[in-house]
Structures are given as structure tokens and as C-alpha cells.
Amino acid sequence: MKHAKPWLLSLPALVVSGFFVAALVSFIGISFLRLESGGSTFVGPASLAHYAAALRSDYFWRVAAQTFVIAAEVTLLAIAIGFPLAYVLARSTSSTVRRTILFCLVATFLSGGVTRAYAWMVILGNRGVVNGLLAAVGIPPLQLINNQFAVVVSVLNFSLPFFVFTLFGALQAIPETLEHASRNLGASRLRTFAAVTLPLSLPGLVAASSLVFAIALAAFLFPELLGGGRVHVSATSIFEKIQTGYDIPAAAALSVLFLLLTAAAFIVFGLVQRLAAARMRMGSAA
């Protein structure tokens, strides 16, 4: 009984996880079937026809490439904007600065995704806030919506708080005494950041980046509303496959293929994270 207690404690989590796994396995099973002609049921025999058709399709590879490009752009921008925010949040001695940053980040959670998407449509629209300001100073309006730019901006706005809060924990775990020691030994702030702070924060940086990358890969609402049907990513292409032709087996095959591509990307992230952790341990030993 003593050894059974951990299993009993984890039983609810295992049951919930079992439902998700069962749904995934069922969806994968459907991908090997085909939609009955003129009907709405799935019939056999099982085959790889949907996978072969997707892999031979230029559309699949274009969508996959655009999905990963958008995810990479969002991740790089999150690093460029979020790292300074997380660093200031972790190191600032001013409570006003910290509270202001926290308020701006937490405020994004106070509204739903649909609200944020329509807010960006108002801001970036042809007669929106940005183009209104440009017109006021005599600059012709810009096409800021129904394109990849709008999708990247909106997904970045959604995912940035996750990046900052994840990296904030990693930066807080770095003792400030190490940075002070570096400065006392004559290193500049930039040298201290490059030689001390950045290497020690690499595992947290990789974790935060992989989280943002995952959010961007799975984004559906923002590409659907702000892409204007011109920005096709994995989630919207799967939705269109179901919405237009109710071809769930083909959509399931696309889902599995995108899942495999995503898994490959995260294997790379895992390798980078382990290398960063190993480098940090070697630095500590030295």
C-alpha cells in the first residue's frame, strides 16, 4: 500500500491525459481512412493516400514554410523585446518600473483573444489608428492588415508575456553577486552581460523561446482574422480542409504531418537547451 500511494495520487492526471491520448490516437486512425463518396462517414481500407497527397502538394510545403517563418519571426522579436523587459523586471531597484512593466504585461491577459484580434484590426486597419496618424502628417496610408505583418504583430502581442515571465524566473535565479564581481574586476556592463548574464540565462532563454515558438506554430485566431485569407498557416489550412469539404481524414493527415514537423523542431530546441545547460555547468566548474 505504501508503494501504491504515488500511483493513486497521479491517477487523476493519468485519466485526464488518457482522454487526450485517446482523442489523438482516434484522429490519427481517421487519417488512414477516406470520406465516403456523397456521405459523411469514413470508410477503409486503411491507406497512406492522404499523406502521400499532402507530401506531393506544393501547397503543404508552402504552408509549412510560412508557418515556421512566422513562428521564427515572432520568436526573434520576442527575444529582442522580451529579454530587456525581463532583465529590467529582474534587476530594477525601482518598484514603479517593475509595477509598470508587470501591469502592461498582465493587462494583455485581461481580454480574450477575439477582443485582442479585433483591437489590432482597429489599430492596423486601412482607416485605423496608425494610418490615421500617418494621414495627419501627410504620409500615404500603409497596408498593415491582411498580411503577414499583422499576423506577426498580433501573435507577438499574445505570446510576449509568456516569454517575459518564463525568462524572468531564470534571470532571478542568477545571483546578482556574480554581476557585481564582474564589474568590480573592471568589466563593463556590456562585457558583464555577455560573459556572465547571457551564458547563465541560456537555459531559461531557450525554454522561453521554445514556448513562444510553440504558441506561434499553433496560432489560428490571429492568422484567420488578421491574415484576411492571404496568410495560410498550419491551423488555418486544417480548418479550411474541414470547413470547405468536410474532409476530416485529409485534415487529420495534415495535422499528423504538421505535428511531426513540430516535434522535429522541438527536438532541436531540446538539444540546444541541453547544450546550453552543459556549457553553463562547464563554466561553473571552471
Answer whether residue 4 shows pLDDT above 60.
no
Residue 25: half-sphere exposure toward Cβ, Cα within 13 Å: 6
CA distances from 163 to 6, 13, 75, 179, 242 (A): 33, 26, 9, 23, 32
- For the cut 70, the answer to whether the pLDDT of residue 102 exceeds it is yes
pLDDT digits 0-9 by tens, 118-127: 889 989 988 8
Mean pLDDT value across residues 158-175? 91
Say which residue, 45 or 281, is predicted with more confidence.
Answer: 45
pLDDT of residue 40: 66
Nine-digit cell string for 103 = 501591469
Only one residue has cell 501547397, namely 59
- pLDDT for residue 284 is more than 60: no
Cβ atoms 75, 266 nearer than 8 A: no
Q: How far is the C-alpha of 50 from the C-alpha of 182, rounded, in Å?
A: 58
Which position has the grid cell 477582443?
115
C-alpha–C-alpha distance, residues 116 and 151, integer Å: 12
Cα–Cα distances in angstroms (integers) from residue 212 to residues 3, 153, 155, in the given order: 39, 13, 9
As given in the structure block, the three cell numbers for residue 280 are 553553463
Q: CA angle, corner 60, sides to 54 and 62, nearest 5?
A: 155
What is the pLDDT, as a whole number, of residue 283?
Answer: 58
- pTM attached to this predicted model: 0.85
Over range 13-23, report the average pLDDT. Answer: 83
Secondary structure (DSSP) of 92-119: ---HHHHHHHHHHHHHGGGS-HHHHHHH
Report the topology of domain 62-285: MetI-like fold (1.10.3720)
Domain boundaries, the chain: 62-285
Give the closest residue to 113 by CA, choosing from 164, 163, 155: 155
Pick 64 or 245 by higher pLDDT: 64
